[in-house]
Structure 1
Amino acid sequence: HLDNHMKWIPVDFSKYILAEIMRSIKHHNGYLVIELLLVHLEKHLERQETADIKTSIMNVIQDCMVFAAANTGAGSTMFTGIARLLKFLKKSFQIECERTPPSSTEEQKFQTAVINGIGNFAQNLPDFQMMEIMQFIITSLPTLNQERHETPDSRNANLKLQLLLLKTVQKVAATYQLTHRRETSTQTTFPHQLFDPLLKMMSSPEPEVRLIVIEILQSLVDRRRYSDKLQKIKLPKDISQLELPTETKSNRLFDIAFMKKVTPSLSPPRPE
């Protein structure tokens, strides 16, 4: 109906219709609506003439995902939806690279909508599920090989795709930081399946990768957002002037052990 009557744009009307549908059905059936929207989005994915429509559909899906997460949490069905969104994100990137002339503006709007959708969905989830989403995205990153048969264009495309997916992780990590989870422990919250690949990427030859990875790690570890204070001031001789409280709670002791373990991985290699 929205297709036939061209009601996807502006997006306000379609958002209103789908919001009413989500409210009128049983909450556990909300993911069926999201599944139907994902199927419909896939039909528009490669149509250049409807590039703006797929962005509107994605914005509607985002609202439905947030509603579903807030009311029912995230089950295996929803993680299947996340996997499909990542697939759409990669496909959009491929379309952007292949089209001549490139329609980067439309595709980038869609990519931003997907990234925001995943991040806003994650905001309504418990810690461990947010970590699972980031871990899932990390495992889908393309590898940057130094092999001879890889062309510069191919390597550049892989790098751009890797950065795009890392931005998705960064969005979820920023969401994690904004929820002020101050009492979580690094020992129980951060799985090595997430941190080990991130720490490994700190030795990437690409500075763009290293920068975004350190920003992700900062969002996850700096739960009290001390970085904002440290960026705006010069370090005094007496660091007590920074008003950074010290704590002796047991979960903070785990944090100290965690930092001792990972700090060597964050240090740049010494020149030989």
Structure 2
Amino acid sequence: MSHATSSTQGPRAVPDGSGAPAVYDLLGVGFGPANMALAVLLEEMAEASGDDGISRLFLEARSQPAWHPGMLLEGSLLQITVLKDLATVRNPCSRFTFLKYLQDKGRLFEFLNLRDLFPSRLEFNDYLTWVAGQLGGSVGYDRRVTSIAPVTSDDGGVEELEVTARSATGAERFRTRNLVVATGGVPWTPDGVEVAPEGPILHAHRFMHSIRREFPDRDAPYRFVVVGGGQSGAELFLYLLEHYPNAEVTAALRRFGYKPVDESDFTNTIFFPEMV
């Protein structure tokens, strides 16, 4: 599957006539599930109106779509029902739903036969990649945003925002009337702990990228310490036990035990429209 990497492939933008970058109605920083869902909405609005609709562009630092790639462990499942995908609860008839993805992949009946609405993260990541492939014209990959600055009028009011992104060909500038920043979480480490690109200290967000490189011998008597009592910590602890049978694996927890995910009916009401 090819992915658009040039901002010129995006939807129509309106030149401002001054030699400055073209101005978009909306520019998104990051192209994870949040901005991807927004892109789906804008695409459907454009299709319904019969024109390009809101001129938009999403800038993504990665070279291709990826959803927590460092934590795509075999057997790991979604925590919430897949019906809360990018489109279903807003528009069940959307062509961007998870069920439409399954139909397109020829796996709809097999999935229904599972009687389970919590697919693997690997499959959900593939779904997001499938959606992103249909939105490539409004996405610029390999573009890491480095600065955002106001563009002011003569009276000092902010008229637009100028966004600078670094790409393989150098710095690029974009202007927008509306900016949506959805860059995801930032990896956290305790004070005094430094996680280098290579080395024995691994962070969960790059676990699958690093574990086999740093610890290639699965039969070796390694000694691992997993710090953290959340879901990621529990999953990594179990992964190490299963994949390194001769290793000593220790869990370091702040609490007495692992903290379970709150999936109660009450908590899930945060997804209701009236809660927004």
* TM norm structure 1: 0.26
Q: Which one has the bigger strand percentage?
A: 2
* TM norm structure 2: 0.26
